[in-house]
């Protein structure tokens, strides 16, 4: 039986880890005794991050446990009655892969008119497409960190700070690591994935490039890590229930209008290649999150950025849905 994991709370209550199935949530603590008899290695108050530290054993135990649960468990409650927090609360490291969807980068090239002098229209598009083809063959992923303090729940508000005039959406497939990973070969990389989820890598477009001293390049701190700039969840879907992460439809609607609608097949560097690249440079730990890039259809393409009152409805096939209402911050919030 397919299930997922999440972090929840009753209104006014403490957070707890839960097993989710058919929009129902069963607190792990409620089945702790049965889990321990089945070989589980988690405490009754274990978090999802705790479970990920011995993921292979704990996943196997949960799969057996879920199969033994009654179809209508008396202690299960509707997810809609709970506060839904980030499923991993919180990852120790968040890494984001930028410019990783072919059509997205080509569209940005066209929208911004960035290319060799004299090229425009179809000629510029052909040049951009050729550049992406060359990058796929000889290039590498482009990865940067984002602070975990930017993470919020899948149904929590996104606060738009006064420091930016161009806050933008970037719906992305999230990869959650399930084993310590260092110098992993791409042929084995997916074995290190605990599961998948949804993130929105909200970005302040006008704060990415430093203008005071252009040689500094990009400024990911101020452009990516404001509080609430990464809605995460609603749940973590174990990798065993996602047959191919490169065949998932990814969709974002703004106030009901579809803005992003693409397949993860359009990634330049797939999930396995990203893990290979990242683990060659840093140590990955269980629970770490990799945001794998965003497809075409960001606000930059439409010249339409987030405003107070906007509602983003996001979905990735098989991984659930998010709904984020945008709230404009005051200077002294």
pTM: predicted TM-score of the whole model, two decimal places? 0.95
Backbone angles phi, psi at 188, to 5 degrees: -110, 0
Q: Is pLDDT above 60 for 85? A: yes
Q: Are 28 and 46 in contact (CB under 8 A)?
A: yes
Q: Residue 230 burial by CB count (10 A; 0-12/13-18/19+): exposed, middle or buried?
A: buried
pLDDT of residue 104: 87
Q: Are strands 158-160 and 320-328 parallel, antiparallel or unpaired?
A: parallel
Backbone angles phi, psi at 312, to 5 degrees: -105, 120
pLDDT of residue 331: 67
Half-sphere exposure at residue 70, Cβ-oriented, CA atoms within 13 angstroms: 5
| Contact partners, residue 117, CB within 8 Å, separation at least 6 | none
pLDDT of residue 13: 94
- Give the closest residue to 227 by CA, choosing from 150, 173, 131: 150
**Mean pLDDT (the chain, rounded):** 94
What is d(CA 106, CA 135) in angstroms, rounded to the nearest whole number?
A: 12
Q: Are 9 and 64 in contact (CB under 8 A)?
A: no
What is d(CA 212, CA 209) in angstroms, rounded to the nearest whole number?
A: 9
What is the token pair recorded at 91?
């990852």
Q: Are 197 and 233 in contact (CB under 8 A)?
A: yes
Taken in order of first residue, the domains within the chain and their CATH numbers are 4-84 (no CATH), 94-100+141-328 (3.90.850.10)
**Angle of CA points 57, 60, 64, to nearest 5°:** 140
- Give the DSSP H or E segment for 128: helix 121-138
Quick: pLDDT tens for 125-151. Answer: 888 888 888 888 899 999 999 999 999
| CA distance readout (Å), 332 to 126, 207, 227, 299, 328 | 48, 20, 14, 27, 12
Of all residues in the chain, what percent are helix, strand and coil, respectively (each to 5)?
Answer: 30, 30, 40
What is d(CA 262, CA 251) in angstroms, rounded to the nearest whole number?
A: 7
Q: Is pLDDT above 70 for 332? A: no
Quick: pLDDT tens for 31-79. Answer: 888 877 877 778 889 999 999 999 999 999 999 988 888 878 899 999 9
């Amino acid at each position: 039986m397919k299930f997922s994991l999440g972090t929840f709370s009753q209104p006014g209550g403490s957070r707890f880890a839960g097993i989710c199935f058919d929009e129902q949530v069963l607190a792990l603590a409620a089945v702790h005794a049965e889990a321990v008899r089945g070989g589980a290695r988690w405490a009754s108050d274990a978090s999802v991050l705790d479970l990920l530290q011995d993921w292979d054993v704990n996943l196997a135990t949960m799969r057996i446990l879920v199969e033994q649960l009654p179809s209508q468990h008396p202690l299960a409650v509707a997810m809609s009655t709970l506060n839904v927090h980030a499923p991993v609360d919180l990852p120790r490291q968040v890494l984001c892969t930028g410019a990783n969807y072919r059509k997205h980068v080509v569209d940005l090239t066209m929208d911004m008119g960035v290319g060799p002098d004299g090229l425009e229209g179809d000629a510029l598009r052909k040049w951009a497409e050729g550049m992406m083809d060359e990058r796929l063959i000889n290039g590498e992923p482009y990865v940067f960190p984002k602070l975990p303090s930017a993470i919020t729940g899948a149904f929590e508000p996104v606060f738009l700070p006064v420091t930016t005039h161009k806050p933008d959406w970037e719906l992305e497939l999230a990869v959650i690591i399930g084993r310590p990973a260092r110098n992993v070969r791409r042929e084995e990389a997916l074995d290190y994935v605990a599961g998948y989820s949804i993130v929105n890598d909200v970005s302040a477009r006008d704060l990415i490039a430093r203008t005071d001293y252009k040689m500094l390049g990009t400024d990911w701190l101020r452009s990516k890590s404001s509080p609430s700039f990464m809605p995460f969840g609603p749940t973590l879907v174990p990798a065993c229930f996602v047959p191919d992460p490169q065949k998932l439809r990814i969709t974002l609607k703004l106030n009901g209008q579809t803005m992003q609608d693409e397949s993860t097949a359009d990634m330049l560097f797939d999930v396995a290649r990203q893990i290979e690249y990242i683990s060659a440079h840093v140590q990955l730990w269980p629970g770490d999150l990799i945001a794998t890039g965003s497809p075409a259809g960001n606000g930059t393409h439409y010249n339409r950025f987030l405003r107070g009152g906007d509602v983003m409805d996001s979905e990735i096939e098989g991984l659930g849905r998010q709904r984020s209402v945008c709230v404009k911050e005051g200077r002294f919030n």
